[in-house]
Every structure is written in C-alpha cells, then in structure tokens.
Amino acid sequence: MAPHRKSRPPSSLGLRTPALATAALTSVALLSQTAEASPAAEPRPSTEEVQKKIDDLYQQAGTATEKYNAAKEKTTKQRKRVATLLDDVAQRTEKLNSAREALGSFAAAQYRTGASAPDSASLLLADNPQDYFDQTQLMNRLTARQKQAVDEYVTQRTTTSKKRQEASEGLETLTTTQSTLKTSKADVQRKLADARELLSKLTAEEKARLAAIERKKQEEARRKADELARQQAADAERRRQEAATQGTGAGTGAGTGTGTGTGTGTGTGSVPGSDSASSTKAAKALAFARAQIGKPYVWGASGPGSYDCSGLTQAAWKAAGVTLPRTTWDQVDTGTTVSVDSAQPGDLVFFYDDISHVGIYIGDGMMIHAPKPGAYVREESIYYMPIHSVVRPG
C-alpha cells in the first residue's frame, strides 16, 4: 500500500508569482520603449545666436587671412633670399675652383722645374693650406704671386663655406614658412566652410529675420557715423573761426580839421594741413579706393580685380606713392595714431581687438573697405565693427 502523503497547503509565494511576473514584463516593456525612443533634440539656436556665430566665423576667417598674408609675404621674401644665396654660392664656388686651379698650376710648374721642395707642392695642393702655415715655414719659400694665390684660395674657401651654411638655413626657414602658409590657408577655408554651412541650414523665415538684424545693425552704425560727422563739422567750423580771429587785425586813425585818414590791415588763416603734401597723397589714395568699389572681396588678394581688406588699403596708398606693409598687424604700426574724432580722409581705421580688419576713412564717419567673403568693396560706417584704432600713414 502506498504511503499517504499529507498534501501541502498552497504557498503564499506561489500566489504572488503571476503578479510579479506581470509587473516585471511591464517594466521591461517600458524600458524597451524608452531605449528605442529618439533622444530629445537640442534646442534650435535663435536667429541672433546664429548671426553672432556667423559674424564670429567671418572675423576668425579674417584673422586667418592676415596670418596667410603674413606667411605668404614671408615666403616670398625668403624664396628671393634663398635664390640670391644660392646664386652667390655658385659664383663663389667658381672663384674657389679658380683659386684651386691656380694653386695646382703653381704646384705642377714646381714639379716640372724642380724649383721647389716636395713640401711646397703639398702646401699648394692641400685641402686646407692654412694648416701648413701654422706648422711650417714654407711660406718663406713661396713667391709673392704664389702667396697671393694661397690667400685667395683660403678666403674663397672660408666665404663659400659660410654662404653654403646660410643657404642651407634659408632653405629650412623657407620650408617652415611654406608649411605655415599651407596651414593658414586651410584654416581660412575651414572657417568659411563653417559659415556657409550655417547659412545653408537657415529657413526662409530665419534668413528674413537675419536680414532684418543686419539692417538694424547698419542703421545704428550709420546713426553713429552721422553723429561723428556733425561733431567733426562743428570742430572744423570752430577751427576756421579761431583762425580768422587770430589772422585778422584792424586799425583806424583820424586827423583834426577837415581832413580824415583811415587805415586797415587784414590777414587770412587756413585749416592746418589742408594744402599739405600728406593731404594730396590722401586724396590720391581715396580716389583709388573709390575706383575699386564693386570689386569682390577675395581673401589673400591685393588687386587689381579683387581685394581683401589690407590688400585694398595697401594698393590705395601705393597709388599715392606710399608703401604700406601687407598685413593689418604691420599697417597699424605705420604712421601716427590719432583719435576717432580727429580722423581725416585717407586715415586707416582698424577693427577688433586682434586688429584683423582695416578700412580707409573717407570722412563723415564713413569708410571704404573690402568687408568679407561674398561681399564687395563698398562704403560703410566705421561703427559697423568695433574700432581698435585710427592711424594716419606717412
């Protein structure tokens, strides 16, 4: 007979299992949905933020352009210097060979005639005859002409060696500047590509808002230019009145009886520098700059068909007979720094803390400049960008 087993009461744990399983499955499903859901998109930048980013990229591109211009100018100068050094080395090598041949001729003649001891021939044919000078008294055996030949050889050997070293160092420097030129070019292209990408992502509505922001910026800059124009006009009038007061004198005299006599004296004054040679040059520079209005901005260009900012100012003043350096960083040190209120037509106006942009002042708070890629040489308020300084060339 099979033993009877006492049946177990249902376990309380077993009663809860279905509920736990259901909860677990629900949690897994929720987690799965969360994992599959796309992450929250980053908030789209405002139009003002996009505008600032684009402006920053163009400014950075301007800075990179000036670095490119500096590297290009240095590369050009270094290439010319290396070419000159190599030509010099070639010429001196020819002189060295001629001096060596002269020594060989003397030595050969001595062997043929037996006019000199073997040591003398060794001296003349040695790679470094100077060693013999320090060790022997053979110079006493040489004629004046032979001594001159030895001296010429030693001189040419030393000078040629020095020039070869300079040429070698020049080539190394040229390689470095060419590398910097390549890096600067790539940096400019990258900044401009980033700016174009930002612009390409804008909707039509955002582009319209961007244009409105730009118009507002230009209007504010023009308002400040008008204020400066009024201030400069008032200052000019005040100077004219002061000059007239200082330059004009009058006197009268009278006699008794029926006769009278009068006398007057007059003098004239002019605005200082109005007819100076510097003003004439400035006028020529301005005439050139105005003739370039409408030509495209191209980074690294200095005319005649296109310009970057410093290329335009350099070309304008060159037309006036004044040589300016190529980059904004060098141009800012050429001339006399003046206040914005004292700016005169022809002065150079520099912008940004890093001095990466320049325009040529035309008066009334306005300038002519090559603004940025995609734009053309134009007139604009000097307050369109943060002013760094004003410099008067010459």
More confident residue, 94 or 263: 94
Q: Provide the pLDDT for residue 78.
A: 79
Alpha helices in the chain (DSSP H): 12-36, 47-113, 118-125, 129-135, 144-200, 204-247, 277-291, 309-319, 328-331
Q: Are 374 and 308 in contact (CB under 8 A)?
A: no
**pLDDT band at residue 223 under the 50/70/90 scheme:** very high
Cα separation of 87 and 238, whole Å?
Answer: 62
SS3 of 271, please?
coil
pLDDT above 60: residue 301: yes
Q: Provide the pLDDT for residue 48.
A: 82
Q: 121, 160, 161, 155: which is closest to 138 by C-alpha?
A: 121
pLDDT, tens digit (0-9, with 9 covering 90-100), for 248-291: 654 444 444 444 444 433 333 333 444 578 889 999 999 999 99
Q: 316, 314, 317: which is closest to 290 by C-alpha?
A: 316
Cα separation of 228 and 315, whole Å?
Answer: 27
Amino acid at 29: A
Q: Are 61 and 193 in contact (CB under 8 A)?
A: no
More confident residue, 22 or 335: 335
Over the Cα atoms of the chain, what is R_g? 41
pLDDT above 80: residue 339: yes
Q: Provide the pLDDT for residue 270.
A: 36
**pLDDT band at residue 142 under the 50/70/90 scheme:** low
Amino acid at 16: R
pLDDT above 50: residue 144: yes
More confident residue, 36 or 355: 355
**pLDDT band at residue 390 under the 50/70/90 scheme:** very high
More confident residue, 211 or 81: 211
pLDDT above 70: residue 165: yes
Cα separation of 57 and 31, whole Å?
Answer: 42
Of 103-112, 212-221, 357-366, least confident by mean pLDDT is: 103-112
**pLDDT band at residue 12 under the 50/70/90 scheme:** very low
Q: Provide the pLDDT for residue 114.
A: 53
pLDDT, tens digit (0-9, with 9 covering 90-100), for 82-93: 788 788 778 777
Q: Provide the pLDDT for residue 145.
A: 65
More confident residue, 351 or 113: 351
Give me the sheet containing 348-351, strands edge to edge. Answer: 336-338, 387-392, 348-351, 357-363, 366-369, 378-381
Q: Full-prediction pTM beyond 0.75?
A: no
Q: Provide the pLDDT for residue 260.
A: 43
pLDDT above 90: residue 177: no
Q: 44-48, 150-154, 356-360 — which one is most confidently predicted on average?
A: 356-360
pLDDT, tens digit (0-9, with 9 covering 90-100), for 14-24: 444 555 445 44
Q: Mind telling me the catalytic residues?
A: 309, 357, 369
Cα separation of 154 and 142, whole Å?
Answer: 16
| 89 exposure class (CB count in 10 Å sphere: 0-12, 13-18, 19+) | buried
pLDDT above 90: residue 103: no
